[in-house]
Amino acid sequence: NAGVTQTPKFQVLKTGQSMTLQCAQDMNHNSMYWYRQDPGMGLRLIYYSASEGTTDKGEVPNGYNVSRLNKREFSLRLESAAPSQTSVYFCASSEPTWSGGGTGELFFGEGSRLTVL
Amino acid sequence: AQTVTQSQPEMSVQEAETVTLSCTYDTSENNYYLFWYKQPPSRQMILVIRQEAYKQQNATENRFSVNFQKAAKSFSLKISDSQLGDTAMYFCAFTLNDMRFGAGTRLTVKP
């Protein structure tokens, strides 16, 4: 019962370095999401992919890029990390309500704590 | 874009008592879904309850129930018989195409 798996769980970067957060789900969900969580601000949507082959910006997309590699995998890339990107990142997947039978419920990974020095 | 507002950053309740967490949202759409998620210190996100906007009946899951007021765009969560294990961050969320979350309410259940 893997569900949503994201790696790495912890990462420390220096300003200007790049990295990719990986996410995979085994529930055959159409939609996948990347959120960041900062104290007092809840979860803010960075990017999402409603279905394989599509990606859309969320609330805070600047400084990030995503790739929906296939139906299972959705990666998040920081090209030039900045201290403002220090956060906990969550990947999630869902079967959307428009897919006929989907509940829209998000299933989350365990989170990745990223620190940019 | 839809927005979700939780106006209570922190709340506390005595064990076995009842507490209500508030949530309002803004949308011009008619059919959508609302959720409450719980995040304990483990950081895991756990679904508490779900409400379809086209259903007038309020959703209930054991000790958890909602008061859904569609015209007022309000979606509050009531926790009855509070338990120590209910201590967590609670997030209200709205979904249409993507899912947007409120800033959260930190609930502490006191023994």
| Tokens 């220090």, located at residue | A86
CA dihedral sign of residues A29, A33, A37, A43: negative
Return the DSSP state at A73: B
CA distance A50 to chain B (A): 8
The greatest distance separating any two alpha carbons of chain B, rounded to the nearest whole angstrom, comes to: 42
| Tokens 């059919």, located at residue | B31
Cβ separation B45–A40 shorter than 8 A: no
Q: Is residue B31's pLDDT more than 90?
A: no
CA distance A72 to chain B (A): 18
Which residues 42-101 in chain B show a CB within 8 A of chain A? 43-45, 47, 50, 91, 93, 95, 97-101
Q: Supply the pLDDT for residue A1.
A: 65
Cβ separation B99–A33 shorter than 8 A: yes
Averaged pLDDT score across all residues of chain B: 94
Higher local confidence (pLDDT), A41 or A117:
A117
Q: Supply the pLDDT for residue A40.
A: 79
A45 chain-B contacts, CB cut-off 8 A: 98-101
For residue range B77-101, what is the model confidence (pLDDT) as tens digits? 999 999 999 999 999 999 988 899 9
Counting one residue from chain A and one from chain B, the pairs whose CB atoms sit within 8 A come to: 57
Q: What is the distance between the terminal CA atoms of chain A, rounded to a whole angstrom? A: 35
For residue range A57-106, what is the model confidence (pLDDT) as tens digits? 999 999 999 999 899 999 999 999 999 999 999 999 998 877 777 788 99
Higher local confidence (pLDDT), A52 or A91:
A91
And the tokens for B49? 């309850």
The DSSP bridge pattern shows strands A112-116 and A10-13 to be parallel
With CA atoms as reference, the chain A residue closest to B106 would be A40
Q: Is the peptide bond before A8 cis (omega within 30 degrees of 0)?
A: yes
Averaged pLDDT score across all residues of chain A: 93
